[in-house]
Chains A and B, each alone.
Chain A
Amino acid sequence: MREAWVIGAASTRYGKLAESAREAATRVGLAALDDAGVEPRAVGHTFVANCFGLTERQGHLGPLVNQGLGIPEVPSVSVESACSSSSAALHEAYVHVAGGFADVALVVGAERLSHLDTLTATGYFAFAADSAFEARNGATFPGLYATLADAYRAAYRTTPEMFGSIAVKNHANAARNPHAHFQREISMATYLASPTVAAPLRLYDCCPFSDGAAAVVLAAREAVPRPAREPLVVRASVRSGAPTALQDRPDLLGIPSTRRAAETAFRRAHLEPRDIGFAEVHDCFTIAEVLALEDLGFFPRGTAARESLEGTTARDGRLPINPSGGLKAKGHPVSATGVGQVVEIFEQANGRATGREVPRTDYALAHNVGATGGSCSVHIFARR
């Protein structure tokens, strides 16, 4: 296996895009290549994530991105793995680069959702769960995570303020991120006063529907002897899976695919959770961040919500979590989310996360979940 580096990154602001996912994907793809100082013709393979393209009447985005970049002859793979689509694309790029099948790979994720009304978007999101055995029974995406929150609070006797502290923290981080969908802080009082979406989840427990696109360039170390930016070394790139439907999991107090992916990733990276300086984790709902922190091994089970309330995961805390603002406040343009997490890690490592810097960037982790954990990616990065 060859050592693979992230050598360039780019992102749109998340929120509402005036352009199509195709245009945004192509634009950030080119921007990431420019950031890396790499010409498009040097790309050996592209991996393009997009879930909701058919709602824009456009599937098969990979070759269109390549054509827009002036490299229509380059092979592409269009990837769909629900909310973990672009981290799945990154994993496939890693396999190609580390395996010697490409020296340089471009990974792009793009999504446009703002043309859908809330009911339609809610319906499409539920299709990433088990449509026949969950959505047909009334499950919505917030409803499934609310069910996990219900199980968690019953087991560990949490308070609303514990979950609220995650929303407040991530909004505070997003307010310092020019790429974020939400760029204002919220108070605990605002959180507690927000309406219920699916009990116990309030509106401010939930990520928004966002448009956005993000891209990174992955390259073999020997292909870029003098990188233009401080590269991120990929120490582990791991995917895992679990039964999609909650009814088929014996335990609702975690996401089993996260646990498996994390165990494998730390083993391959020869690292332990305490080595990680900061992490971008999948917080589509506040309960998702709680479960992620425990499943990744950062905190014992039943303690992460309390640790958040005590400030452990704030930017100046012992383990900064989601300095970008996370899905919760930076936003969740489904297929851009996973690679967008890596953009944040790259920005932090290159001193470009102005105003939201974290103290330690030596090792960082990105965690991205598809739906309620049917699929999951964990990537661990190191400074050179």
Chain B
Amino acid sequence: MATEGPPPVHGIADFVRGYEAEEILLAFRCPRCRSLTATWGLACSRCGARPLEEARLGPTGRIVAGTVVAVPGDELLNEAPYAYVVVALDDGGRISGWIRGVDREADIAPGTLVRFAPSYRPGVQFERIAPAGERPEPP
């Protein structure tokens, strides 16, 4: 009998449930090159190693690049304008997400410090903590 493939690890629905309902950012870590990815897969997209190890990403990071979306798709239809950003997380890995209520490019300059801020809204939602080049205020 043909096999069904490798044993299940967390699936796409688990990623979504993680960031929308459980306040965690699921990821995979490569067993060989140790790279982290926030995208579902069965093998490392950098070196091909498998099986991937389940991992979690840290909550804070800095914006690598982004945009202020004025014409949204249907996922965030009523949220525009908002920022769509790619974030390099402090503890490793990159993830894309969005920031509510941003209408100025200057507010999402590369290097801006952000924190995972889940809410009832869809997707990976971040909030700004400090502008680029600044350290956050102590809690």
Contacts and interface: CB of A to CB of B under 8 A. Distances in A.
Interface of A: 118-120, 122-123, 126, 130, 132-140, 142-144, 146-151, 154, 195-201, 243, 245-248, 252
Contacts of B59: none
B122 interface: yes
A123 B40 contact: no
Given A142-B71, A252-B64, 4 more contacts: A138-B69, A140-B84, A154-B109, A198-B70
Interface stretch (B2-10, B47-55, B91-99): B91-99
Please indicate which of the listed interface residues B15, B75, B94, B124 has the most CB atoms of chain A within 10 Å of its own CB: B75
B105 to A, nearest CB: 5
B110 A151 contact: yes
6 contacts: A123-B75, A136-B75, A136-B122, A138-B123, A147-B85, A243-B45
A132 B40 contact: yes
A197 B37 CA distance: 29
Contacts of B84: 137-140, 143-144, 146-147, 198
Interface residues of B, number: 38
A166 to B, nearest CB: 18
A147 B86 contact: yes
The 5 A-B pairs at the shortest CB distance, nearest first, are namely A146-B67, A138-B98, A151-B65, A137-B123, A199-B68
A137 to B, nearest CB: 4
Contacts of B71: 118, 122, 140, 142, 197-198
B75 A135 contact: yes
Given A143-B84, A243-B45, A246-B86, A196 B68 contact: yes
A261 B90 CA distance: 33
Given A138-B75, A151-B64, A252-B64, A143 B40 contact: no
Contact of B40 (A133, A197, A201): A133
B73 A122 contact: yes
Contact of A148 (B65, B75, B79): B65
B73 A252 contact: no
Given A137-B98, A139-B96, A243-B39, A132 B69 contact: no
A122 to B, nearest CB: 5
A199 B105 contact: yes
